[in-house]
Amino acid sequence: MERDAAEAFGGGLAVITGAGAGIGAGLARRAATLGMTVVAADIALDRAADVAALIEAQGGVAHAMKVDVARAEEMDSFAAEVHRRFGPVRLLINNAGIETVGFAWEIPADRWDATLDINIHGVVHGVRAFLPRMIASGEECWVANLSSVGGFGQMPIQTSYIMSKHAVQAFTECLALEVGLLDRDTPIHVCSVIPGMVRTRIFEATEADRGDVAVAHRTAMREAMAANGMDLDKACERIMDQMAQGKFWVSTQPRMTQMFVERRAAFLNAQAEPALAPELEPMFAHAR
């Protein structure tokens, strides 16, 4: 399907979770630039409101709403309110997520729960709350779930995050098959959005960090992102362009995705022992 983003997303309603910062905020701005009305949703209403205000200052249309994606009942109420106030949803981006670092056995139980609830259940709740209405609309629409190149890799000290992105990737693949079984004249596009290294604030220090290893790892990742990460606006433009073309695989850096996928396939085919990629070894000196 050869369409540019302005043709595909030149109108209609976009709902983006975790839109108060990072890739979510970038995608909200990009969707508005293309002509969509944007619902910028975040657990921090003030951050969502700042993004919505910026969009409106630039001539777009946006509304800030608060939602905790980890709570099923909140997502149900949120979806109902969005449809009551704004009508059918053309684009749903389940973006909300958090990064957690540290040895798996040192991360507190409540942080484990938060990471898996937001990163995995938040995606599931978003689909469950919105997709039935999208199906019933009979209109062409998009569901995009934020995976990661990490969804095809192994990374110590980021175990909970990597685990969550493997789960999101598997969920999205199965969801695409389920949607493909529907008897519809117009498509529902399911997209796995696979960011590589994009410059955001995801590795800023948090109160959840425990121990010197967690702090050192966040610092190392933050510095690597600053030095080698892709510009956020460029990444979001690429994401929207690929979604407009109806692609399932939506990558900010396709070559990076290809490298991770090929390594994963080789690892599984060989049933090899888990091992760090050689180029990553220096990044984990602080953990030894």
Q: Cite the active site residues.
A: 161
Q: Output DSSP code: residue 272.
A: P
* Residue in the structure block whose two tokens are 């892709």: 230
Buried b (16+ CB within 10 A) or exposed e, 98-127: bbbbbeeeebeeebeebbbbbbbbbbbbbb
DSSP 203: T
Among 42, 41, 40, 34, residue whose Cα is nearest residue 12:
34
Distance CA 170, CA 244 (A): 22
* Number of Cβ atoms within 10 Å of the Cβ of 246: 16
Which DSSP helix (H) or strand (E) runs through 175? helix 159-180
CA 10 to chain centre: 22
The length of the chain in residues reads: 288
Residue 155 and residue 114: Cα distance in Å, rounded?
Answer: 19
- Cβ(141)–Cβ(188) under 8 Å? yes
Joined tokens for residue 56: 């409106």
DSSP 88-125: --SEEEE-------S-TTTS-HHHHHHHHIIIIIHHHH
